Structure 1
Amino acid sequence: MMLVIPAIDLRDGRCVRLRQGRYEDETVYFDDPVRMAKLWRVMNAKVLHLVDLDAARTTADEVSDNRAVIAQIAETLDVPVQVGGGIRTLDDVQAMLDLGVYRVVMGTAAVRDPDLVSEVIERFGASRVVVGIDAHDGEVMTEGWEAGSGVDAVDLALDMERRGVRRFVYTDISRDGTLEGPNIEAYRELAEQLDKAHLTASGGVGDYKDLLALQAVEASGVDSVIVGRALYENRFPCQQFWCWHRKNEVDLERFSTARLALKGK
């Protein structure tokens, strides 16, 4: 069964969503990302995906103000948290792991400095790193999705797999935040080229029918999907039976007993 992973995108300490990666097209959903993370956990999320949008646009000598929030989320939840955005050095990786993050997502760094990914795997192990491939028409985008790289998404994935990467998050930027459906053929094309690595789909999920459609590529190695806007806008029937509409009354300290061990995955 495909794992659904809720996303929390952080900007200025708040929980937001962008449309197609455009910073000027932002929707603020909650001012308290920690409370949002707890709510997703109460709804039985088994993994959480965080993106530090501010860090994705910082320079190498700047530190995002969202780190305190990330640390609090990682400390509070009893399930793995993965974080991407602005992770460009070994020190960045170490800093995130020190905050309690289970694994980091490296995007721009994988394109600009592929040897760094090899170093990260050697030092911390393959289970602690994910390579994020954010593509537009098959071209990998970098610097917070604002710069083209000239690198083909499949070519990057194959090189990263040879270096020991065993997990990719593939985002179709043109679908991200649109609710118009995932680019299933793009996921299939990439997943079928991989030998050992698994793929997490991201971008475009609008309702439960899209989740059912993604089942067609599970056999190819797409075993999970990141969902953002569709969850925030209550587009799944099952949410009517959860606590979304009464979230201010929910006991956010009482998590489900369901657990998920990600070691080695």
Structure 2
Amino acid sequence: MALVIPAIDLRGGRCVRLHQGSYDEETVYFDDPVKMAKLWRVQNARVLHVVDLDAARGDESPNREAIRGITDALDIPVQMGGGIRSLDDIEAALEMGVYRVIIGTAAVRNPPMISEAVERFGPQRIVVGIDARDGEARVQGWTEGSGVDAVELALDMQERGVSRIVYTDISRDGTMEGPNVQAYRTMGAALSTTKITASGGVGAHKDLLSIQTLGNYGIDSVIVGKALYENVFPCQQFWSWNQKDEIDLDTFSTAPLHDPSVLQ
């Protein structure tokens, strides 16, 4: 089964979700990101996906303290994206306890930096985020087009030593209307060694099953955000979602933490 990775998108220090990447269509879910992260961990999350939306758009970020709090609180790997534009940014994120960083805009605008980052920090610590609309990679927190084809970008990143890509279809993100399976299949068929984490559109159990069919295309994991916050999965009733203010958030599951291949 593809690994399900809960998402925490941060804006203004709070947990939010955007609709199709629009900063004007924001829903605030929780005010305490650390508590939210602990709840996902209690529900047996094995990896956590965190996005700094303020930094992604180039704004000054109020979220770094929350991110450090999350990495300090959890015993699982945390991957973080948003505003990572330089090698110094990567190093700062790793020093905060982030296991691996996701680089988006800089991968489009400064590809040689990706080569240097992989060489300096290792492929396990560097992930490229490709956020696409109609096949075009978007940059600057999804607010600007790049003129770069998403699959061509992925091929370039593979040549530069990138071992994992997070691929988001912006038109599906936050809609819960189902993932763009064909887009993942197309990119996966083009790549030979780089793995893909799918992102965008998951709204029901059947969507996870559709992702599961893509294993032969290198898709081994999927990021889920709004669907988890909206409590759409029946199993969440057994994960104490409805008693989230009462459960012990400091006692984590003893199940195996992760499939090591997902961290490559």
Per-residue deviation, residues 118-138 of structure 1 (Å, max 9, x unmatched): 111111000001000000000
Contact 1:80 1:262 in 2 (8 A): no
Letter aligned with residue 154 of structure 2:
A
Deviation at 1:261, TM superposition (A): 5.8
Match of residue 58 from structure 1? 58
User: Equivalents in 1 of 2:236, 2:216: separation in Å?
Assistant: 28
2:237 aligned with 1:235, yes or no? no
Letter aligned with residue 11 of structure 1:
R
Match of residue 135 from structure 1? 132
Contact 1:120 1:129 in 2 (8 A): yes
Match of residue 102 from structure 2? 105
User: Equivalents in 1 of 2:67, 2:225: separation in Å?
Assistant: 17
Report the identity percentage.
Answer: 66
Match of residue 82 from structure 1? 79
Match of residue 249 from structure 2? 252
Query: 5+ unaligned residues in a row in structure 1: which ranges?
Result: none
User: Equivalents in 1 of 2:135, 2:66: separation in Å?
Assistant: 33
Contact 1:5 1:46 in 2 (8 A): yes
TM-score, with normalisation over the residues of structure 1?
A: 0.97
Match of residue 113 from structure 2? 116
2:4 aligned with 1:7, yes or no? no
Match of residue 91 from structure 1? 88
Deviation at 1:58, TM superposition (A): 1.8
2:174 aligned with 1:177, yes or no? yes
Letter aligned with residue 58 of structure 1:
G
Moved over 3 A (4+): 261-264
Query: 5+ unaligned residues in a row in structure 2: which ranges?
Result: none
Q: How many residues are paired up?
A: 262
Per-residue deviation, residues 137-194 of structure 1 (Å, max 9, x unmatched): 0000000000000000000000000000000000000000001000000000001111
User: Equivalents in 1 of 2:181, 2:93: separation in Å?
Assistant: 31
Letter aligned with residue 183 of structure 2:
A
User: Equivalents in 2 of 1:197, 1:208: separation in Å?
Assistant: 26
TM-score, with normalisation over the residues of structure 2?
A: 0.97
User: Equivalents in 2 of 1:144, 1:175: separation in Å?
Assistant: 16
Per-residue deviation, residues 218-254 of structure 1 (Å, max 9, x unmatched): 1111000000000000000101111100000010000
User: Equivalents in 1 of 2:151, 2:70: separation in Å?
Assistant: 33
Deviation at 1:262, TM superposition (A): 4.0
Which deviates more from structure 2 when the two are superposed, residues 90-99 or residues 237-246?
237-246
User: Equivalents in 1 of 2:242, 2:155: separation in Å?
Assistant: 44
Deviation at 1:20, TM superposition (A): 0.2
Letter aligned with residue 45 of structure 2:
A
